[in-house]
Structure formats: structure tokens, C-alpha cells
Structure 1
Amino acid sequence: MRNARSASRGTGSDAAVVLLRALWKRYEHHCTQTDSCPCTLLKQEILLNIEKQQTLKKITLSFPDDTPSDTVLPSLQPLLMALRDERYTHVEELNIWKLSLEQKDIVELCLLLERGGRTVYPIRLLELLDCKLNDWCLERLGKAVKSSFITTLCLDYTRMSEEGLKGLLLGGLGASQVRSLSLCYCGLGSWSGTVLASLFTKSSVRELFIDGNELQCGGATELLRPLAEKSQKMAETQNMTISITDDAELKPQSNMKSSVQRKSAHKGKKTKKRRAQNKSHPEVKGGPWLKKLHIFDNSIDDQEPNQLKPLMELICILVKFSSDLTELDLGENHIGEAGGKELLESLRERKAGVDF
């Protein structure tokens, strides 16, 4: 704590250097105490930022397969302990790769993420890549994310059962600030479509990456149905509103001009204030909606036309009517020539702005 207090007295680059040196020293100490293997990549990042005299905002904890011996194993505990001891609150991105995390590791990580502690750690991106999490860990992580600052969550290569996925998504992630969720190569089957769809009906997730799974036509259909139906309904409502507005504009508006002129000055002030509020506190639109959807390599094919046809209908509805959707990746799936033509036609209609 002495190092942290001395750093607080410094300013700018000097304080950053002192903090980083204290962090690495504390990390090495905890590695020795817990018989853990220090991360050489973390040391390189710290030394590089010391040279630049900048705080370290992105931490990557990764160990090559041939680094640890039979007696010295890598661990997450020393890093979490060092961050807490030094109260290092500058980390915004935390990447943990290929670690077998135990329940105590997840508990300590969640306590660091949650905003209920005395010291707040504003981590906005969390990546647990191939970390072998069991069902209990996934549910505990979902609850922690709910009360954290995390907006991007990546759990690629983490094998999940149906109970594990439900625990993660329904245990609190739906009420979190997460905008981007990546579950690539997680062993998700057709059963996951309904679970993922239930998340979108009550969450703020805008980007979903589920490449390399096995949703197949059935799972993808269950996932996209609420998104497509909502997009079509919103488009119909918007067009109806525009039609009513156009009819109203045909009526005389002389009585309105004077009131508009009287309110113009006051309205200008309110508009500026409203814009400032929206910029600092962006609101999320209600209902299921999506900006990016990557469903690459999910065993979607035309071997069963009865299942592919309704899926393609939903995809085309989503493409035509969802103004939010900007990216759709269906690579390494086999939708056939007919499916390709339908998708192309929906893209043309989206571009042309088809009315109902």
C-alpha cells in the first residue's frame, strides 16, 4: 500500500510508472506465495507501458502450452490479488486465455467485477477464452456481469451445456449492460436457439457471435423468430405513422405557426439539453433487436428443405425490415441456390426501401 500511496502523490507519467512497478512486484510476490507460474506476456506489457510512461489498460493473461512445469502451474489468483492489493483501477480490458478456472477463481473474479465493493474496477471488456467453466461458474459469472461495467463479453471455446447457458444468460446477463456477446465454438446445439431468443426479448445485446456451433436450421429458426417478427411489426407501425403524418400535413397549418414561433426559443434550449443527456446516457430501444449477427459454420444446410425454408423466410424478413442490422455472416452454411436468390432479393428490397 505504501507504493500506491506514493504513486498518488506523483503526477502524470511518474505516477503511472510507480503504479506499474508496484503491480508487477506484487504479482511476482503472489506467484511465489501460491506456487504459480508468472505470465511473461503480462511482464512484457507492463515493461512496455513503463517505457511509454502510460498506465496499463489492457491485461492479457496467457500461458504457452510448454511454459508450466509439473510443479509450477499458471493461476489467475496472483493477478487478482495484486490488482486488489495495489487498488489498480485502470484496467478496462481483461483477457484470460486457456486457464482451467476453479470455483474460487470465479468467485474472486466476480467480486472484482461487481460494483458493490469498496474499490470499483471499471472493466468493460472481459474475455475468457477456452477456460473450462462449469455450470455453477457460468451462472455466477452471469450474476456478476449484471452489476458490473462490462459491455463486451467473450466466452469463445468454452464448452456449455444447456443448464450452463441458461445459468449464464438468464441468471442476470439479460439485465446487464452487455452490448456484445461472443459464444463461438461453445458446443451449442439446436436446443440453444430458444435460450438465446429468450435473452433478446429482455436484454440490450446488440451484437451476437455464435460461429462454429451446431444450431442447425431448427435452432437458428428459434433464435431469429422473435427478432424477425419484432422488426416486421416495427416497420409496419412506422409506415402507418408516416402515412397518418402525411395526411395531417395536408390540413391548414396557419394556427400552428404562431404557437411554433412562440415556442421556438424555449424549444431550442430544451433540445440542446436533451441532446447532451442522450449523449451521456444513451438509451436502449425496447424489444429484441440486433446490429451484428455472426452465425458462421452452424450446420445450416438444404438437406432438409422443410426446415431451411422457414429459416430463410425469417432471415429475409430480418434483412428487409430491420434497420438496425448492419452485419450478417452466414458463411460455411449451405443455404442452396434458392436460398441465395431469396437472400439477394431481400437485400435489393432493403436497398430500395420497400413499403408494405
Structure 2
Amino acid sequence: MQKAQSAEASRAESDVVVQLRALWRRYEHHCKQTDSCPSAVLKHDILLNIDKQEPLRKITLSFPEYSPSDALLPSLQPLLMAIRDERYTHAQEFHIWNVSLKQKDVVELCVLLERTRRTVYPLISLELLDCKLDDLSMEGLSKAASISCLTTLCLDYTCMGVEGLKCLLSGGLGASRIRSLSLCYCGLGSWSGTLLASFLTNSSVRELYINGNELQCGGATELLRPVAENSQKIAGNQNELKSITDAAELISQRSSMMSSMQKKAKSKGKKSKKKQGKTKRSPDMATGPWLARLHMFDNSIDDTGKEGPNQLTRFMELICILVTFSSHLTELDIGENHIGEDGGKVLLEALQERKTAKLSPIKIQVSTRMSTETFSSILKSAKELKSGKKRRQKKGKTK
């Protein structure tokens, strides 16, 4: 029996190796046919998985050693063709870094994402890092995401204007399964706050990363308003429900005193089960926009804008509402935004109120431009968060 199982496992492992080798050979073939340079990173990952005899779940297409003077150019086409030819459906993550994508590339990538084809490629994470997408590509990607398996979309370092962001957010992305959206260092200005707020209100996104943009106080305030107001509303409903439940328990206790001990025990058991069924809710069932992770590191949020300190005060009011009332919030990154000593103090009060309300502690990052005492107290009232997405350096230029 053990020998049969071992032989079956060996056969399965060899099938994985055969498939990976076929994928690489097909990719090399298409690179030659299209005069494209093969990716050394992809080759390394495939060979590593061949040694492990494991399927390649994370495909990374990157060309770190490429120079503009090279005869062969990086391209996405050969990889897409190879994946389709071999029907390689084991990948769950697709990372494309610093590759100039043509319209045709994006169209074929969208076809690969869609679940309406005969062969389904169950990609759940797509990262297009610094891939220079135009407005039409944004719209196409958004439409494809709405009928895909994607739950994570990262478009960091993809510069986009008003029309580009509109195409992305209104093209069908709101109807998708995406729960994590990253638009770090995309050149978003204060104008993007309203667009992002509307999107959050009509989508299932629960993690938003917008580090390194220029939302400033105005844009950040517009973005936060519906999320903060909804968190306060949910907290109010929960408190009201708790009050009703407490009152019902009191009435139940008084009426139960008039019955026998046996009836009392039986009645109490039924009522407790009923209450649990009514009051226990999953966080995902909460209505309206809410966020578990909000990262807005380095967004020029300070008191130097057109409206000065007043605008910063409004922003901090919303941040404090979110911190005080949102039971869903787990991470908040407002580092490198200079909220000052006053902002630090009101944030500290909100964290203390959150603790008093017995909500779970959050990970937080703030600027050190405040007194040491206030900064230290904030970190004592929360967990320190280290930002994982900071501005990167590129050869020949700074991004």
C-alpha cells in the first residue's frame, strides 16, 4: 500500500517538473519569436520550483539587469502566450515589474483574468508595478477584474490623472471581489479624495494603501468622511442593540421569578440561544464602507495648505472618530504627515477611548514631529506599525 502511494506521489511530482520545464521552453520560444529578452527572475523561480518539485504559484516578471541600450526589449507577450499554450493554471499571484505594457498586452492580460473562458486561470493577486498604463488600459483592467477571481490589486508607481482614476474606479472594479487595493506613489492629488470615497462606499475593498501621494488635508478628509461616519453609525447601532438586549434581560429576569425553577432554567436556555443568534454578526456583514487597513503614509497632510490649521483639524476629527468607533480597524499609517503636537494629543485621547470601549488595539504609525512624551504615549496605547511601502530608488532616476 505504501509503495503504491509512494509511486503515485512520485508520478505527481514528475508531472509538476514536466509542466514547469514545458512552460519555460515555451516562454523561451516565444521570446525568440517576438525578439524579446527572457526574464532571469522568472527562470530562477522556475528552476527553484523544479528543484522543490512544487508548482509555481507566484509568477514574477522582472528585468532588473535590463539596460535601454540592450538589443532585446522586455515584454509581457511571450509569458502570456506560454501560459495559454501550456494551460498553466497553478499560478495564484502575478507580479509584473517595470514593464511598458502595450494596449495588446493589457487586452490579453484581461482575457487571462476573466472567468468566462473555457480555461480558467484562478489568479487572486495582480501586481503591476510601474507599468505605465493609459486610461483605456485602466478601464479594461477594471472591467476584467469584475469578472475575475482577483482579491488583491496593486498598481503602485503607475502615474494616473483624474481620467485614469475615474476609468479604473468606475469601470467595474466596485463590483469585483477585490478587498485590497494599492495605489501608492501614483501621483494622486487632493482631487482623488472624492473619487476614492465614492468607490469605497460602493465596493468590498477593506484594505487601502495610498502611500506617497498628494491627497493633503482636503483630499484625505473627503476620503475619510464616509468611512468615519459609517463606523460611528455602526457603533451607535451596536450600543442601541446592547441597550435593548440589557432591557430584555431585565424583563426576562423579573418575569422568570414568577415561574418555577424548572421552567426558569428551560426558558433561560432558549432565550440565551435566541439572543446569540440575533446579536452575533460577522465583521464582513457590516453595511456601508469600512476599512481594516488604511495606509496613507507621506501624503502632505499638514497645516500648510490653503485653509491652514482648520483643514488639519477636520482631518484629525475624522481620524479620531475612526479610531474611537471602528471595531474593524487593525492598521492605520499616517506617518510622514505632520499632524503636530495638537494632532498627536487628540489622537492619543481617541486611542484611550478605544481602549476604554474594549475594542481591539490597532497598529499605528505617526510622524515624530511632536513632543517625545506624546509620541511615546501614542505607541504605548497602540502597537507600532512599520510601513512596508516606502519610496524606492531606481537606476538612473528617483521614483
TM-score (ref. length: structure 1):
0.89
Matched, 1:336 2:340: yes
Tell me, in whole angstroms, the C-alpha distance in 1 between the residues paired with 2:240 and 2:66: 64
SS in 2 for 1:11: helix
**Number of the residue aligned with 2:320:** 316
Tell me, in whole angstroms, the C-alpha distance in 1 between the residues paired with 2:156 and 2:106: 17
**Number of the residue aligned with 1:211:** 211
Tell me, in whole angstroms, the C-alpha distance in 1 between the residues paired with 2:123 and 2:286: 24
**Number of the residue aligned with 1:102:** 102
Aligned-pair distance for 1:237?
Answer: 1.1
1:158-198 Cα deviation digits (max 9, x unpaired) = 00111111111111111111111110000000000000001
**Number of the residue aligned with 1:125:** 125
**Number of the residue aligned with 1:15:** 15
Tell me, in whole angstroms, the C-alpha distance in 1 between the residues paired with 2:148 and 2:113: 5
For 1:147-162, list aligned pairs within 5 A.
147-162=147-162
Tell me, in whole angstroms, the C-alpha distance in 1 between the residues paired with 2:70 and 2:153: 32
**Number of the residue aligned with 2:294:** 293
SS in 1 for 2:332: strand
**Number of the residue aligned with 1:6:** none
SS in 1 for 2:156: coil
Size of the aligned set, in residue pairs, is 337
What amino acid sits opposite 1:290 in the alignment?
L
Moved more, 248-257 or 202-211: 248-257
Tell me, in whole angstroms, the C-alpha distance in 2 between the residues paired with 1:156 and 1:128: 7
**Number of the residue aligned with 1:36:** 36
Change (3 A) 1:69 1:30: farther
1:86-142 Cα deviation digits (max 9, x unpaired) = 000000010000011011000000000000011000111100000000011011101
TM-score (ref. length: structure 2):
0.80
**Number of the residue aligned with 2:220:** 220
Moved more, 14-23 or 255-264: 255-264
Change (3 A) 1:58 1:19: same
**Number of the residue aligned with 2:376:** none
Tell me, in whole angstroms, the C-alpha distance in 2 between the residues paired with 1:21 and 1:305: 61
Tell me, in whole angstroms, the C-alpha distance in 2 between the residues paired with 1:285 and 1:309: 28
Tell me, in whole angstroms, the C-alpha distance in 1 between the residues paired with 2:179 and 2:264: 42
Tell me, in whole angstroms, the C-alpha distance in 2 between the residues paired with 1:19 and 1:285: 44
Give the one of 353, 356, 361 matched to 1:352. 356
Unmatched tracts of structure 1, length 5 or more: 1-9
**Number of the residue aligned with 2:378:** none
SS in 2 for 1:160: coil
Matched, 1:306 2:310: yes
Change (3 A) 1:183 1:262: closer
Tell me, in whole angstroms, the C-alpha distance in 2 between the residues paired with 1:56 and 1:69: 31
Contact 1:68–1:74 under 8 Å retained in 2:
no
Tell me, in whole angstroms, the C-alpha distance in 1 between the residues paired with 2:294 and 2:88: 35
Tell me, in whole angstroms, the C-alpha distance in 1 between the residues paired with 2:62 and 2:231: 41
Contact 1:184–1:212 under 8 Å retained in 2:
yes
Change (3 A) 1:238 1:283: closer
Aligned-pair distance for 1:317?
Answer: 0.3
**Number of the residue aligned with 2:330:** 326
1:220-271 Cα deviation digits (max 9, x unpaired) = 0000000011011111111111011101111224678546768999x9xxx9
**Number of the residue aligned with 1:136:** 136
Contact 1:37–1:68 under 8 Å retained in 2:
no
Aligned-pair distance for 1:66?
Answer: 3.4
SS in 1 for 2:245: helix
Tell me, in whole angstroms, the C-alpha distance in 2 between the residues paired with 1:213 and 1:16: 43
What amino acid sits opposite 2:184 in the alignment?
C
SS in 1 for 2:117: coil
Aligned-pair distance for 1:342?
Answer: 0.4
Tell me, in whole angstroms, the C-alpha distance in 2 between the residues paired with 1:338 and 1:67: 49
SS in 2 for 1:286: coil
Tell me, in whole angstroms, the C-alpha distance in 2 between the residues paired with 1:40 and 1:113: 24
Tell me, in whole angstroms, the C-alpha distance in 1 between the residues paired with 2:321 and 2:271: 42
Tell me, in whole angstroms, the C-alpha distance in 1 between the residues paired with 2:322 and 2:270: 43
1:331-351 Cα deviation digits (max 9, x unpaired) = 001111101100011000000
Aligned-pair distance for 1:68?
Answer: 6.1
**Number of the residue aligned with 2:395:** none
SS in 2 for 1:307: helix
Tell me, in whole angstroms, the C-alpha distance in 2 between the residues paired with 1:264 and 1:229: 32
Tell me, in whole angstroms, the C-alpha distance in 1 between the residues paired with 2:141 and 2:147: 10
